A and B are shown apart, each in its own frame.
Chain A
């Protein structure tokens, strides 16, 4: 098991990757990516049981589905630094002929991605399907998924939330990135989500909270707790509070950096706050 300090170094390097990827093409979504960096590092480096290499069917290993596909920079960085594809390929993010499309897709055959996402609200249904396949296959590994909080405004989520509890899909851990922001502003102004935890609970899920989703130790502890609650007849939800743009002071606590890249000067400032650890790609 990697030491917390080692994982923290990966977090910082991942932030650098995110910033450099979106800066190079002057597009992409750094805010949500930075907010979920600790979650991704914890999941891929500490929590999930993964096999070497990549097979679409993922039998005998845990699976992850990213529903809010716009935070592809953090997904790509973590996949690359887990060996799914060469880290140098991060250089091709959003460029023509790249496997690293603006939003993740299977279409170009990028290892580590199992479904396209970006058009919001579809990932939980797909994760449920994969979880049901695991049950049919007698595979006791788990399915993880991540969803934006604003994304819960899409009605398909509530079809899926109702289905998962009604059918005891208890090998599924869906995490909600509760950063409280979406493109047009704070979620509670755009369309109030109210109490997300209570909403999942009345739909029959087992819900836990990670109060500080940018505290690596807390995220690992929360995910471990969530794992311990699987297999008990209920799907498990984690409501994880995060700060959009975490780790870069001028990007934090605002929706301004949802889909905007830093300029040269801003990049320099941001990178200075996150000194190189594992080596830039």
Chain B
């Protein structure tokens, strides 16, 4: 199996912040907006170096989305950032009308997605955001897996014309993708080739999928692992190519099974190549307070849950 090394645990939000620092120096049209969460979004360096290109909106996310839409009129590339809950559900109609329907080049950058923000509990966790954002016509939805990939994704979306939802998280997690990587929007990444089962994961669950694949290999099961960082547009060709080989699939995401990556994969397969599938995702529930590890365990979002799902799907082949 292809070996991946954790280069040292880092939070994906710092990947966003460090990329913003770089964009501040390299792309003078990039502007940043934040709704009273500068420290959490790690954009202080951008602000220090480009005070005139930073807009502190205050605790007013609806206004932030509208101002971001307006800033594009005049050629700016706004990166509007806050917690994923407040960047989506709270302002769905503002995103829908002023950004998506209006075709504005706004980057909605959402930290603290999923249950792994931990102790703050369900009011601040969100497990529905991928669903809401992928349903918006024209919206690109990206959920990178580690620090390096989040940084690369942030840099990449600045060069892409159109609305983007970029989702990342709070906790320090394994940083295992290459430091210098070209991020191609909409392109699935093959992490490990296998023949018995396809594991398709996004975000924090990608590392868990690799751990699961290693354990499965020890048990004589060859798992193919694919990192889908772009949920929309979905790399259907990569998905189909893999499942045609393996004949079954497990999807894994830190999100509700309703509306998430798993459903996008299921739709592709139902249309083009019906295949047994198991979903590692939350089961239509809110989260709760706890440590990230406790929550991943309780809500069935870790490598053990993936392994269990693989055994289940193998029986359905």
Contacts and interface: CB of A to CB of B under 8 A. Distances in A.
B159 interface: no
A139 B63 contact: no
A129 B60 contact: no
Contacts of A127: 70
Interface in B91-140: 93-94, 96-98, 101-104
A132 B69 contact: no
Nearest to A134: B74
Contacts of B76: 133, 136
A218 interface: no
A252 B201 CA distance: 61
A133 B60 contact: no
Given A58-B73, A125-B70, A159 B60 contact: yes
A147 interface: no
B52 interface: yes
A57 interface: yes
Interface string A128-148: 111111101101000000000
Contact of B103 (A59, A65, A106, A132): A106
Contacts of A107: 101-103
Contacts of A152: none
A160 interface: yes
Interface string A143-172: 000000000000110011011001100000
A49 to B, nearest CB: 16
Contacts of A114: 73
A129 B101 contact: no
B71 interface: yes
Contacts of B67: 125-126, 128-129, 132, 160, 163
Q: Please tell me the size bucket of the interface on B.
A: 20 to 34
A65 B98 CA distance: 12
* Best-buried of B55, B67, B76 by chain A (most CB within 10 Å): B67
Interface string B44-85: 000000001101011010111111111111111010000000
A130 B70 contact: yes
Interface residues of A, number: 39
A181 interface: no
A231 B94 CA distance: 29
A125 B73 contact: no
Given A136-B31, A162-B60, A163-B58, A126 B69 contact: yes
A248 interface: no
A122 interface: yes
Nearest to B73: A130
Given A116-B101, A132-B55, A136-B53, A125 B66 contact: yes
A137 B74 CA distance: 8
Interface in A92-130: 105-107, 114-119, 122-130
Given A105-B101, A119-B97, A163-B57, A156 B74 contact: no
Given A63-B73, A119-B97, A129-B73, A156 B103 contact: no
A115 B74 contact: no
A124 B97 contact: no
B101 A133 contact: no
B102 A105 contact: yes
A56 interface: yes
B58 A56 contact: no
Nearest to B57: A163
A132 B66 contact: no
A115 B73 contact: yes
Contact of B71 (A56, A133, A155): A133
A144 to B, nearest CB: 13
Interface string A26-53: 0000000000000000000000000000
A160 to B, nearest CB: 5
Contacts of A117: 97
Contacts of B65: 125
Contact of A115 (B53, B62, B98): B98
Nearest to B91: A156
Contact of B68 (A59, A124, A129, A160): A129
Nearest to A109: B103
Contacts of B73: 56-58, 63, 114-115, 126, 129-130, 133
A59 B75 contact: yes
Contacts of A136: 31, 52-53, 74, 76
Given A125-B62, A159-B63, A115 B57 contact: no
Given A59-B75, A162-B60, A163-B57, A132 B52 contact: no
A133 B78 CA distance: 10
Nearest to B70: A129
10 nearest A-B residue pairs (beta carbon): A129-B70, A125-B66, A133-B74, A159-B60, A159-B63, A129-B67, A126-B70, A130-B70, A156-B62, A129-B71
Interface of B: 31, 52-53, 55, 57-58, 60, 62-76, 78, 93-94, 96-98, 101-104
Interface of A: 56-59, 63, 65, 105-107, 114-119, 122-134, 136-137, 139, 155-156, 159-160, 162-163, 166-167
12 contacts: A115-B69, A125-B65, A125-B66, A129-B70, A130-B73, A131-B70, A132-B55, A133-B75, A136-B53, A156-B63, A156-B94, A159-B63
